[in-house]
Structure 1
């Protein structure tokens, strides 16, 4: 259980006031810009400030996780975003409402941002320098979440927005997020990102899940392809990457994140301190990088003499 005192300072004592405000009194609603199992996302303009925002409507029957605040059930997404206000790579909660059937979440938004899935689809596979700039921002956002005691639990390209002009990213959609627990036995994330321990045992730890998902996401950023299509692929844990030329440091980082042993995956601190994330690139000899050669990531883990490996009983 999460102590109420962690959250109650972010919310008024009388949460019934959220019912009394009317969405249409505060915002001029626009077109639909997204949708999902939760509901729809619209763009809108604040009538007071003139700023553009995103309006996410979540039907109460579709709220995946809630927390009790001042005796009232609040979607986890609202509670978590209130707790993550100060990082530039995390979407900002502007406002929220409640009516009889829905929770309405208002966040900042700009038409210059597109989701990373669409960004990658419209381009050829990114070079490593561009991929690094994007990936490092994502890891820094996740590291901040971990420092605040929160796991996102649905890291994927569709939950990352990127500014097409500046390359700045924002992590979005904390609907599956949760405060830190020792172990989780529920998973609302995307199936092809699920780790082998969830597929096999239906449980996982938060940090090892995030590390696995970051490895899958990095694979997609650099290749435009999904490393695992089926549960059998995930359990085999031998993704192959078809790419003409890729550095040893990059393959090493992906292999570490997508290690079948969750205890051996890196933390966000480890990822940020990895040679590839810090800018190192060492390419293998030309005859070993033939066009479209399949690379088994498990073969490319660079030994780290300082690494402490825990023995799994």
Structure 2
């Protein structure tokens, strides 16, 4: 038992700690509890934990961001009590449940929710830096999405943490391999999040990733650099969506689409998947 929560299951384990399923002893309501060990941490790890909790609590009132309910401090541990998502994450809904492929109305509805959540983060000067289906929880049979896991989030508009995030989803500038190491001055955090949203959009519409990494070491991405129409040729996406993706996955972050325009274009997009 942690405070007034009975541990009923283990939801996940990682280098950061554990996530448990807890049941409130009085209300029987279920919560996810992220338990973070405090022993053996260096200053950098402590700062990451402190940042994650403070930024998530700043944002958790938004309807499409997982609610952070409260923080319990015990000797050697910090327990973060959060809203529980019993239907799992977006990755399993795309890969295992086939909720979205060809379902244009649901894709539009949930991607607009994601844009709203990321816009709220950016309006509050928070950049997620790890947007991917595994960090998005699903509710209402796939009709509602909520953003989770602010472990890599930052308030820095210019980030110098190259390679921060997940390989499939981070932007080319985040890896820094398009610039000479001597010229690396950091990359803008907001356009990096927008690139990641573009990859999530492809996941929703096509059920797969376009490349393993947006790096010149990746043959498919290298082909995309020389052929801007490659995505339409290799993925079952509509022409409308392809036009949007060319702006969202623009290699130059200065020319990349911004969130307000992306929202307008998605709201007007009728078809996402190219069906035979």
Same fold, TM-score > 0.5, yes or no: yes
- Which range is displaced more, 102-111 or 231-240? 231-240
Matched with 1:195 is 171
TM-score, structure 1 normalization: 0.73
| Distance in 2 separating the partners of 1:136 and 1:86 | 18
Matched with 2:79 is 104
Matched with 2:256 is 265
Answering whether residue 5 of structure 2 is matched by residue 27 of structure 1, we say yes
Matched with 2:222 is 236
Q: CA deviation at 1:138?
A: 0.7
In the TM superposition, what are the counterparts of 1:125-136 in structure 2 within 5 Å?
125-136=101-112
Answering whether residue 213 of structure 2 is matched by residue 218 of structure 1, we say no
Matched with 2:188 is 205
- Which range is displaced more, 176-185 or 24-33? 176-185
Q: CA deviation at 1:164?
A: 4.2
| Distance in 2 separating the partners of 1:126 and 1:266 | 24
TM-score, structure 2 normalization: 0.82
Answering whether residue 168 of structure 2 is matched by residue 179 of structure 1, we say no
RMSD: 2.8
Matched with 2:227 is none
Of residues 251, 270, 276, the one that matches 1:281 is 270
**1:194 and 1:282, CA in 2 relative to 1: closer, same or farther beyond 3 A?**
closer
| Distance in 1 separating the partners of 2:42 and 2:105 | 39
Superposed CA deviations along residues 127-149 of structure 1, whole A, max 9, x for unmatched, are: 22221112111111000011111
Answering whether residue 54 of structure 2 is matched by residue 76 of structure 1, we say no
Of residues 88, 91, 94, the one that matches 1:114 is 88
| Distance in 2 separating the partners of 1:183 and 1:120 | 30
Matched with 1:85 is 60
| Distance in 1 separating the partners of 2:44 and 2:53 | 12
| Distance in 1 separating the partners of 2:240 and 2:94 | 22
Matched with 1:137 is 113
Q: Report the 3-state secondary structure (helix = DSSP H, G, I; strand = E; otherwise coil) of the residue aligned with 1:78.
A: helix
| Distance in 2 separating the partners of 1:74 and 1:37 | 12
Q: CA deviation at 1:66?
A: 5.4
Is the CA contact 2:9–2:21 (under 8 Å) kept in the aligned structure 1? Answer: yes
In the TM superposition, what are the counterparts of 1:29-68 in structure 2 within 5 Å?
29-60=7-38, 61=41, 67=47
- Which range is displaced more, 184-193 or 252-261? 184-193
Q: Which has the larger radius of gyration?
A: 1
Number of residue equivalences: 256
Q: Report the 3-state secondary structure (helix = DSSP H, G, I; strand = E; otherwise coil) of the residue aligned with 1:114.
A: coil
In the TM superposition, what are the counterparts of 1:152-163 in structure 2 within 5 Å?
152-163=128-139
Q: CA deviation at 1:225?
A: 1.0
Q: CA deviation at 1:170?
A: 0.8
**1:44 and 1:85, CA in 2 relative to 1: closer, same or farther beyond 3 A?**
same
| Distance in 2 separating the partners of 1:282 and 1:130 | 11
